[in-house]
Structure 1
Amino acid sequence: MHSLKKSLRKLGLDKFDKKGAGASASISTSGVRLHFQGQHVVVDNGILQVTLSVPDGIVIGIRYNGVDNLLEVLNKESNRGYWDLVWSAPGSKGIFDVIKGTNFRVIVDTEEQVELSFTRMWDPSLEGKFVPLNIDKRFIVLRGSSGFYSYAIYEHLKDWPDFDIGETRITFKLRKDKFQYMAMADNRQRYMPLPDDRLQGRCQALAYPEAVLLLNPKLRELQGEVDDKYQYSCENKDNRVHGWMCTNPPIGFWQITPSDEFRSGGPHKQNLTSHVGPTTLAMFLSAHYAGQDLVPKFRAGEPWKKVFGPVFIYLNSAPVGDDPFFLWEDAKIQMTTEVQSWPYSFPASEDFQKSDQRGNVSGRLFVLDRSISEDCLSAKGAFVGLAPPGEAGSWQRECKDYQFWTRADENGYFSIKNVRTGDYNLYAWVPGFIGDYRHDALITISPGSCIEMGNFTYEPPRDGPTLWEIGIPDRSAAEFYVPDPDPKHINRLFVNHPDRFRQYGLWSRYTELYPHEDLIYTVGVSDYTKDWFFAQVPRKKDDNTHEGTTWKIRFKLNNVDRKGSYKLRVAIASATLAELQVRVNDPSTRRPLFTTGLIGRDNSVARHGIHGLYRLHSINIPGEKLVEGDNTLFLTQPRCTSPFQGIMYDYIRFEGPPC
């Protein structure tokens, strides 16, 4: 850290503004005022001034703490602060669209609040040119608030053209001469490379465009490190606040998301946060770590309306002499305030439901696994949620509507508050147990409803007693062996870090560790934290092509019920254009006992995700295929046209015949 500070001094990036403007700005009592300046509109509350283009609704300027513009002034006005999306007609290539309004309205204009609307309405003359959606982008500035809010309403009317929407988000691009320290968690923050460091001649391209090796960065201490935006991905449930700090003057720019209800894929869906640019993102829809399963597809004139946000852009500053890293601590405090204020009372759109329009659901969840206990156990720490009606586990592929999640306490009690009106199923999964729970009865939320569901029990899949198991059923491969990265491809942030799997290039270490023979795991002898590689990926050959791999699980059986049926449970944490074939005791059989066929487009191996979509396979193994003494299971992943193809296992269990 000390050497980095020396480099920052050389670049003039360590000085504080001695005026301490931010300290006094935060106590401003000025009302909110609206100013029109030709093709721009400025919202000023005495703490900050936000300038937007009219009628586009692009944030072109944010003045705060004596800095005229926190956004990148070297960029075009349309490339500073904007909503965007990627859409396509069915079967067509995706189109990137920075959403520009065609009509501007002032919704609220008082000293307490200004709310602005920038709309782009669709009609048949625009078919093929723009996504068939009515889009209403809103921006809100409140009196005394050190920041501003943004949300949008997307609407597809009945009988409009079919389309897919692969991504939508809010993007802010900050000044590279001001913002160089990024923070997204207490243990995931650092001085970041500059965007110039990613230019040709200053870096080396790696296996995909997002990842580069820094050869000649302006901060010399970053030389030899990998920069890759996917190293800073985050699960929805943990993605509450992230952003950047400037040290001259000391300013923080933070994106706060107080609720997951409008994000796709549930609490474990992973999204981008902040990355080199300096860029900060509010992600609402994306296919990352899931593929087409998380791309909303609208067919047969399906009507649809959804509110994304509001999210809060929070600005803070530190007085002269204070530790600038306090800005991160303050941002976390503000995040808590925003979460406790959800749902907000001030958005003017009727499509955003306020607290009195919503309902609550509570209950208690138990788990019954008779191989562990004849009694019901409290579902300690269970993830419990309401999502649109579907099959058990369908919530992780849900991407059109709203979801509401919580965690059960030590005794399995849960409470889901402020649920939008509508029909839902209640879903759950319990750490330490396989499978997904769905409560059969439909739950209808009406305004002001408080539904007490009482007690209910999840019985996870189980046929017989556990003969052996590998891993922990937690929907992640993090407990398995994650190797150190190639020293030439390192991100120092993740050295000796709990998220060591976020290092670049770990897939290539499999070939180095198993150059000739694949992984062999012996039950009762091997240790899955040391002897089970975190991803079953192809092996690289001398001619730079790849070959599929077959892992062996060796185990002993003292007695075999030849007429009985055994069960192999394979929980998969992620799959990318992969296939799992299972054979028992004879690896040469042309047809496997079981195959998944081609599964998955998670791309978690390349994107350092440690999990993607959860899949559970239950495989019957006839007793006649087993022998007393030594047995071997062969797990083959034959797909090998890319080094990123493969499987991450969550948990494997071998059960005996039912007692």
Structure 2
Amino acid sequence: MSDQSSVHLDVKDNHVVMKNGIVELTISKPDGFVTGISYHGVNNLLESHNEDYDRGYWDLVWSEYGTPGTTGNSERIKGTSFEVVVENEELVEISFTRKWDSSLQDHIAPINVDKRFIMRKDVTGFYSYGIFEHLAEWPAFNLPQTRIVYKLRKDKFRYMAVADNRQRKMPLPEDRLGKRGRPLAYPEAVLLVHPVEEEFKGEVDDKYEYSCENRDLKVHGWISHNLDLGCWQIIPSNEFRSGGLVKQNLTSHVGPISLAMFISAHYAGEDMVMKVKAGESWKKVFGPVFTYLNCLPDQTSDPLSLWQDAKNQMLIEVQSWPYGFPASEDYALSDKRGCINGRLLVQDKSLSDELLPANGAFIGLAPPGEVGSWQTESKGYQFWTEADADGYFTINNIREGEYNLNAYVTGWTGDYQYEELITITAGCDIDVSNIVYEPPRDGPTVWEIGIPDRSAAEFFVPDPNPKYINKLYIGHPDRFRQYGLWERYTELYPKEDLVFTIGVSDYKKDWFFAHVTRKTGDDTYEKTTWQIKFKLEKVQENSTYKLRIALATANVAELQVRMNEDESEKSLIFTTGVIGHDNTIARHGIHGLYRLYNVDVPSEKFVEGDNTLFLTQAMTTVGAFNGLMYDYIRLEEPCLDSNIR
């Protein structure tokens, strides 16, 4: 007879129950919706007032191939077939599948979906993963988003934690509705005017204020102070998430809602939408992710210790990756994976004749593509690491396949890509030895603004309007996450635009973090032109200077560049054209997609003495949210030494 801690599976007519003496999980059959999570004497941690399909579920957004934008048809993935994959005292794995055929065209996304749930002996929680597949003969389609959603009990879970310094008691969902909340510039942002609890009055609630970069998004969730327990979403690997380490995703937000995001277009726009062409086959495994539950031990009464315990469990899960227990043959176990190692060096002869170690470089394998294409890649798998102080790196547990080796380094502009494709086979250990990145450089620096780190965080971020605050971010290092900061530009520069003087101005104080429009009326906005003033003691005649402009994000923006002449088309030396749908300005993200522009400026555009560079953001079609954020700007002298290139 099996002991109480063994894993048990009860299959009923319309639901199944998995339990291991610690946790009990109820899932509708054959739909595959999680309807109940029982733990520590609490019958259900999910919101039981919701319908069965609205408690715990996988969903996606899809559209016909060629459809522009990032929206489409929302589909809550509903299984049509149930199967027991593994059942023994140590582990139970069950499957809920739904198959696509031509009779379902236009109704659901043209993919097969297999949702798996795993419960293990003596483990306080459960795992979930999914296998998505599209066959070549099926219709082409777009997939902007897919994720797992859990909606917890609003009467019990009030305290949310995303990071050590990003956690707080949260408002109630009804505070956002009716007369209690007033929608602001977009529906996600709501001013709490008459909340149930007075302490939230005057605050802005917006789920995007709690976004997080993938590299830091390994655990988040909720604490119930009156139940003394926590419910956490642990994502042990980034390999199945789109866009690399710095892609930003949603986490938890008012509901109380907890998410595991796999593909999303947030902070990237349509460039990030996964597009499967006609005749193209595609398959991908998302997860497993771990839903972890914990309760206060007898020796402590501090509910916040639950967060520390969840972080400790996250480390255990990360160190256990890749898991050895998923049964699907599509999930690559450790013996089906390889590794790569080497050392990245940087050669910038304007700074040194020596090769410099790429201290802290981000190095990763991504599916083959153009240089930098990894940041919008979502069909395949990516494997990233951070180099040590000497530039050495190792990437373990890479799935079999062909990849580009990519890198970028704080302190230098641009993207590195190894010249040869990397082929990973089971058990391989590839040593690429010393590889060298030569960042874009023509000549010595005349002047520079900012830090080349793909973020605008180092620039001036104003205090928020006192009418629109989130108390969490008062005095917080992530001050850019406050609502409405774009409006502060018009208040600081009501008539004249920003002027930055090299050698006098300080970019930390004098360079506004976002180049946005100026509001001139209730619904009217005008383009803005920033000036960079600088001196040249001597102009090198009959030569070409180089202007490097790295953007941290862009949203329906057009950056026009002029030197010593403003406004006229004749004086235009460069334009980006209309770029970007990152929407970072509205969503408090401080960066979206990275873009680097290398602009040739003929020497006749300069004068000896005082010069002015004019930067115009010319688009006003979406008003407050037309704009961009700079990462870094540098002007280089013409190259006189052929060794400096």
TM-score bracket, shorter-length normalisation: over 0.9
1:273 aligns with 2:248: no
- Report the counterpart of residue 227 of structure 2 in structure 1: 249
Contact 1:212 1:226 in 2 (8 A): yes
Q: Distance in 2 between matches of 1:585 and 1:233?
A: 41
Match of 2:520 among 541, 544, 569: 541
- Report the counterpart of residue 273 of structure 2 in structure 1: 295
Match of 1:622 among 579, 592, 602: 602
1:163 aligns with 2:141: yes
Contact 1:539 1:549 in 2 (8 A): yes
Pairing 1:537-616 to 2, within 5 Å after superposition: 537-591=516-570, 592-616=572-596
Report the alpha carbon displacement of residue 549 of structure 1 after superposing the two structures with TM.
0.3
| SS at 1:267 equivalent | coil
Match of 2:41 among 61, 66, 70: 66
| SS at 2:413 equivalent | coil
> For each residue in 1:301-345, what CA deviation from the matched residue of structure 2 results, as whole angstroms up to 9, or x when unmatched?
200000000000000001455211100000000000000000000
Report the alpha carbon displacement of residue 205 of structure 1 after superposing the two structures with TM.
1.1
Contact 2:408 2:415 in 1 (8 A): yes
| SS at 2:179 equivalent | coil
Q: Distance in 2 between matches of 1:582 and 1:213?
A: 38
- Report the counterpart of residue 237 of structure 2 in structure 1: 259
Q: Distance in 1 between matches of 2:449 and 2:365?
A: 31
- Report the counterpart of residue 184 of structure 1 in structure 2: 162
Match of 1:454 among 416, 423, 433: 433
Q: Distance in 1 between matches of 2:81 and 2:262?
A: 24
Match of 2:599, as an amino acid? I
Report the alpha carbon displacement of residue 589 of structure 1 after superposing the two structures with TM.
2.1
Match of 1:71, as an amino acid? L
Q: Distance in 2 between matches of 1:298 and 1:90?
A: 7
Match of 1:646, as an amino acid? G
- Report the counterpart of residue 447 of structure 2 in structure 1: 468
- Report the counterpart of residue 35 of structure 1 in structure 2: 10
Match of 1:64, as an amino acid? Y
Match of 1:195, as an amino acid? P
Q: Distance in 2 between matches of 1:53 and 1:524?
A: 66
Q: Distance in 2 between matches of 1:125 and 1:582?
A: 54
Report the alpha carbon displacement of residue 29 of structure 1 after superposing the two structures with TM.
6.1
- Report the counterpart of residue 656 of structure 1 in structure 2: 637
- Report the counterpart of residue 3 of structure 1 in structure 2: none
Q: Distance in 1 between matches of 2:421 and 2:79?
A: 39
> For each residue in 1:480-539, what CA deviation from the matched residue of structure 2 results, as whole angstroms up to 9, or x when unmatched?
000000001000100111100000000000000000000000000000000000000000
> For each residue in 1:519-570, what CA deviation from the matched residue of structure 2 results, as whole angstroms up to 9, or x when unmatched?
0000000000000000000000035300000000000000001211000000
Match of 1:232 among 210, 218, 236: 210
1:207 aligns with 2:182: no
| SS at 1:631 equivalent | strand
Contact 1:571 1:649 in 2 (8 A): yes
Give the paired residue count: 632
1:522 aligns with 2:501: yes
> For each residue in 1:461-494, what CA deviation from the matched residue of structure 2 results, as whole angstroms up to 9, or x when unmatched?
0001000000000000000000000001000100
Pairing 1:427-438 to 2, within 5 Å after superposition: 427-438=406-417
- Report the counterpart of residue 9 of structure 1 in structure 2: none
Q: Distance in 2 between matches of 1:515 and 1:501?
A: 21
- Report the counterpart of residue 57 of structure 2 in structure 1: 82
Match of 2:53, as an amino acid? S
Contact 2:65 2:276 in 1 (8 A): no
Q: Distance in 1 between matches of 2:306 and 2:197?
A: 22
> For each residue in 1:196-254, what CA deviation from the matched residue of structure 2 results, as whole angstroms up to 9, or x when unmatched?
11111111111000001111222211111100000000001110000000112111000
Match of 2:477, as an amino acid? P
| SS at 1:396 equivalent | helix
Q: Distance in 1 between matches of 2:530 and 2:433?
A: 45
| SS at 2:586 equivalent | coil
Task: Spell out structure 1 runs of 4+ moving beyond 3 A.
Answer: none
Report the alpha carbon displacement of residue 127 of structure 1 after superposing the two structures with TM.
1.0
Contact 1:29 1:144 in 2 (8 A): no
| SS at 1:221 equivalent | helix
Report the alpha carbon displacement of residue 100 of structure 1 after superposing the two structures with TM.
0.6
Contact 2:240 2:286 in 1 (8 A): yes
Q: Distance in 2 between matches of 1:442 and 1:198?
A: 50
Q: Distance in 1 between matches of 2:504 and 2:525?
A: 30
- Report the counterpart of residue 25 of structure 1 in structure 2: none
> For each residue in 1:173-193, what CA deviation from the matched residue of structure 2 results, as whole angstroms up to 9, or x when unmatched?
000001000001000000000
1:310 aligns with 2:288: yes
- Report the counterpart of residue 23 of structure 1 in structure 2: none
Report the alpha carbon displacement of residue 286 of structure 1 after superposing the two structures with TM.
0.5
Report the alpha carbon displacement of residue 38 of structure 1 after superposing the two structures with TM.
2.5
Contact 2:233 2:291 in 1 (8 A): yes
Match of 1:66, as an amino acid? G
Contact 1:29 1:143 in 2 (8 A): no
Which segments of 5 or more consecutive residues in structure 2 lack a partner in the other structure?
Answer: 641-645
Report the alpha carbon displacement of residue 588 of structure 1 after superposing the two structures with TM.
3.3
Match of 2:24, as an amino acid? Q
> For each residue in 1:244-280, what CA deviation from the matched residue of structure 2 results, as whole angstroms up to 9, or x when unmatched?
0011211100000000000001111000000000000
Change (3 A) 1:542 1:124: closer
Match of 2:422, as an amino acid? I
Q: What CA RMSD, in Å, does the superposition of the two structures yield over aligned residues?
A: 0.9
Which segments of 5 or more consecutive residues in structure 1 lack a partner in the other structure?
Answer: 1-27
- Report the counterpart of residue 5 of structure 1 in structure 2: none
- Report the counterpart of residue 302 of structure 2 in structure 1: 323
- Report the counterpart of residue 19 of structure 2 in structure 1: 44
Match of 2:479, as an amino acid? R
Q: Distance in 1 between matches of 2:401 and 2:24?
A: 38
| SS at 1:55 equivalent | coil
Which stretch of structure 1 is more off in the superposition, 82-91 or 56-65? 82-91
Report the alpha carbon displacement of residue 37 of structure 1 after superposing the two structures with TM.
2.9
Match of 1:643 among 594, 610, 624: 624
| SS at 1:149 equivalent | strand
Contact 2:144 2:274 in 1 (8 A): yes
Change (3 A) 1:29 1:377: farther
Change (3 A) 1:283 1:543: closer
With the length of structure 1 as denominator, give the TM-score of the two structures: 0.95
Contact 1:562 1:626 in 2 (8 A): no
- Report the counterpart of residue 634 of structure 1 in structure 2: 614
- Report the counterpart of residue 20 of structure 1 in structure 2: none
Q: Distance in 1 between matches of 2:398 and 2:587?
A: 33
Q: Distance in 2 between matches of 1:584 and 1:116?
A: 65
| SS at 2:419 equivalent | strand
Match of 1:50, as an amino acid? L
Report the alpha carbon displacement of residue 129 of structure 1 after superposing the two structures with TM.
1.0
> For each residue in 1:148-177, what CA deviation from the matched residue of structure 2 results, as whole angstroms up to 9, or x when unmatched?
000000000112101001100000000000
- Report the counterpart of residue 16 of structure 1 in structure 2: none
- Report the counterpart of residue 359 of structure 2 in structure 1: 380
Report the alpha carbon displacement of residue 91 of structure 1 after superposing the two structures with TM.
4.3
